């Protein structure tokens, strides 16, 4: 998201260290112009006074083809429209998302990030190396290289549990392979000065792996900056039809239990209710085929839209939908769309288990049902539609208030800076 940073004299001093700005290198295989939450975290850190640079790959997610203006084989440094440096290394594009191609994609970033990243940043000094560890956790190896070369404190923000997420999504089924991934994960964790988790439920799982050798703290994903400010200057090319529109936004993949969404839609007979799927992913084509085969006139595949127009799409919605598969690992996960949903001020229908469902209930922001239960999901959507507008507005308002208290970007950026300072303090103790 192309936000303009204030002039240096206007910045807060939260990111200053001993009179100097805290120098942060963010390592993330995916970054702007790809749409990931780390894009806005970088903007928030800069607004709080940090000097931030990014090491990333060539953008190719989610379609699997390198974006126009980029090349899979190039490496170098570009400037984000906001002015900061993005160091790019070559990657093997994801392609259609098949297992072998994805493995090459992952390892190309790890190997070339660890080799070419130090060259691209050879004249730079950093206080913090901050790894945005969406799958794969392998990105932590690149952070460990920079920790060694640059002498910076190494902070890993864990977004997915490994190897649990690999096993439960079926990406790896072999027991020996899963055990090897577990050992590699432990190796990566132990080379961090601080582990942050996007969910409180991750903490105990990771503690069982690393013991007390590395501190662990909870740090949630923030919501969308524009949604939090309740402003949108971009018009959306998606105009929702009249009626009760339930919008699902984000990745259309295996973990999202999309069979449950279609099964629920087939049980809804109210002609005013529509489920709008906004996004793309590995199951987009499967969804298109299933909608046609089942003749589901109440499900619409809208495609992908840039983040800056999502506030307008949410504004048109009657409710927002989030679903996940039933699994012990996913029950500990908080989908990154939930803070954005809360900020949007619309009632939420959540068909999932665990910590994410607890958040919706604690916020009084919508209706929750067990994961992979299409009957209860259909009933929840119908019940929400039958409520008074006043009741739905109350849910939306409660969600916005919960967002402001728990997921607003600026307070979370200041909290993240405090985590960085703690990591620096620990690094000083352990390296003496």
The DSSP-derived string for 156-222 is EEE-S-TTHHHHHTTS---HHHHHHHHHHHHHHHTT-SEEEESSHHHHHHHHHHHTTSS-EEE-PPP
Tokens of 113: 């990030």
Is residue 12 over pLDDT 60? no
| CATH 3.40.50.2000 boundaries in the chain | 8-222+408-430, 226-406
pLDDT-based confidence at 238, cuts 50/70/90?
Answer: confident
* DSSP H helical ranges for 68-174: 99-120, 139-150, 164-168
The CATH number of the structural domain formed by 226-406 is: 3.40.50.2000
For the cut 70, the answer to whether the pLDDT of residue 119 exceeds it is yes
Instruction: Please tell me whether the peptide bond between 33 and the residue prior to it is cis, using omega within 30 degrees of 0.
Output: yes
CATH code of the domain made up of 8-222+408-430:
3.40.50.2000
Question: What three-state secondary structure class fits 373?
Answer: coil
For residue 282, what pLDDT is reported? 85
Residues near 29 by beta carbon (within 8 Å), at least 6 away in sequence: 56, 57, 91, 106, 109, 113, 134, 139
Residue pair 57/23 in contact (Cβ under 8 Å)? The answer is no
pLDDT band at 207 (very low <50, low <70, confident <90, very high): very high
| pLDDT, position 225 | 63
Q: If we measure between CA atoms, which residue out of 300, 282, 231, 273 comes closest to residue 377?
A: 273
Please give the Cα distance from 44 to 15 (Å, whole number). 11
Rounded CA separation 296/261 (Å): 11
Which of 48-52, 306-310, 313-317, 413-417 is predicted least confidently? 306-310
The answer to whether the CB of 115 falls within 8 A of the CB of 11 is no
pLDDT at 20: 73
Quick one: pLDDT at residue 352? 97
Percent helix, strand, coil in the chain (nearest 5)?
45, 15, 40
- Long-range CB contact pairs, 65-68, < 8 A, 24+: 65/93, 65/95, 66/93, 67/33, 67/34
Q: What is the mean pLDDT of residues 410-429?
A: 91
pLDDT of residue 293: 97
Per-residue model confidence (pLDDT) at position 173:
65
Between vectors from CA 201 to CA 161 and to CA 361, what angle results, nearest 5°? Answer: 125
Pairwise CA distance, residues 64 & 48, whole Å: 34
Contact indicator for 393, 375 with CB cutoff of 8 Å: no
Instruction: Report the residue count for the chain.
Output: 432
How far is residue 355 from each of residues 206, 261, 419, measured CA to CA in Å? 16, 20, 22
10 DSSP assignment: G
Is 0.75 surpassed by the pTM of this model? Answer: yes
292-327 pLDDT, tens digit per residue, is 999 999 999 999 898 889 999 999 999 999 999 998
Chain-centroid distance of CA 102 in Å reads 18
pLDDT in tens, 242-287: 999 999 999 999 899 999 999 999 999 999 999 999 999 889 999 9
In contact, 74 and 90? CB cutoff 8 Å: yes
Tell me, what's the pLDDT at 232? 45
d(CA 53, CA 86): 6
Residue 416: pLDDT band with limits 50, 70, 90: very high
Which is more confident, 20 or 432? 20
d(CA 417, CA 179): 34
**pLDDT, tens only, 161-184:** 887 766 665 666 667 877 888 899
Instruction: Quickly state the pLDDT bin for 205 (edges 50, 70, 90).
Output: very high
Residue 226's pLDDT is 59
Beta bridge partners of 157: 132, 196
Mean pLDDT (the chain) is: 90
Q: 214 is written with which tokens?
A: 């590395």
Band of pLDDT at residue 63, cut at 50, 70 and 90: confident
- Cα 52 from Cα 46, distance rounded (Å): 7
Residue 223 near residue 300 (C-beta atoms within 8 A)? no
């Amino acid at each position: 998201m192309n936000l303009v940073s204030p002039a240096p004299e206007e910045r807060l001093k939260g990111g200053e260290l001993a009179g100097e700005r805290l120098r942060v290198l963010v390592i993330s295989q995916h970054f702007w112009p790809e749409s990931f939450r780390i894009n806005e975290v970088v903007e928030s850190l800069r607004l709080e006074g940090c000097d931030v640079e990014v090491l990333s790959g060539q953008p190719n997610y989610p379609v699997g083809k390198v974006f126009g203006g980029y090349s899979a084989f190039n490496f170098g440094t570009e400037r984000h429209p906001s002015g900061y440096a993005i160091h790019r290394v070559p990657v093997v594009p994801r392609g259609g998302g098949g297992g072998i191609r994805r493995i090459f994609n992952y390892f190309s970033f790890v190997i070339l990030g660890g080799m070419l990243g130090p060259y691209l940043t050879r004249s730079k000094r950093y206080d913090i190396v901050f790894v945005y560890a969406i799958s794969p956790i392998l990105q932590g190896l690149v952070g460990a290289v920079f920790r060694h070369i640059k002498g910076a404190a190494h902070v890993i923000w864990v977004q997915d549990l490994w190897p649990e997420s690999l096993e439960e999504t079926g990406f790896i089924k072999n027991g020996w392979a899963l055990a090897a991934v577990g050992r590699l994960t432990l190796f990566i964790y132990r080379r961090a000065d601080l582990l942050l988790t996007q969910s409180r439920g991750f903490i105990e799982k990771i503690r069982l792996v690393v013991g007390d050798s590395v501190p662990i703290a909870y740090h949630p994903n923030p919501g969308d900056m524009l949604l939090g400010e309740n402003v949108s200057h971009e018009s959306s090319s998606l105009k929702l039809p009249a009626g009760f529109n339930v919008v699902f936004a984000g990745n259309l993949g295996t973990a999202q239990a999309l069979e449950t969404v279609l099964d629920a839609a087939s049980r809804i007979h109210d002609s005013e209710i529509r489920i709008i799927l906004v996004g793309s992913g590995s199951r987009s084509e499967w969804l298109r085929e299933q909608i046609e085969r089942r003749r589901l006139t109440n499900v619409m595949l809208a495609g992908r839209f840039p983040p800056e127009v999502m506030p307008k799409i949410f504004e048109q919605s009657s409710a927002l939908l989030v679903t996940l598969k039933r699994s012990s690992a996913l029950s500990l996960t908080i989908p990154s769309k939930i803070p954005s949903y809360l900020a949007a001020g619309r009632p939420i229908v959540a068909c999932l288990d665990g910590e994410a469902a607890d958040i919706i209930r604690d916020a009084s922001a919508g209706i929750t049902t067990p994961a992979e239960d299409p009957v209860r999901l259909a009933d929840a959507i119908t019940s929400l539609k039958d409520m008074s507008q006043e009741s739905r507005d109350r849910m939306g308002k409660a969600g916005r208030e919960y967002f402001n208290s728990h997921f607003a970007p600026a307070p979370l950026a200041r909290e993240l800076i405090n985590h960085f300072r703690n990591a620096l303090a620990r690094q000083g103790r352990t390296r003496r």
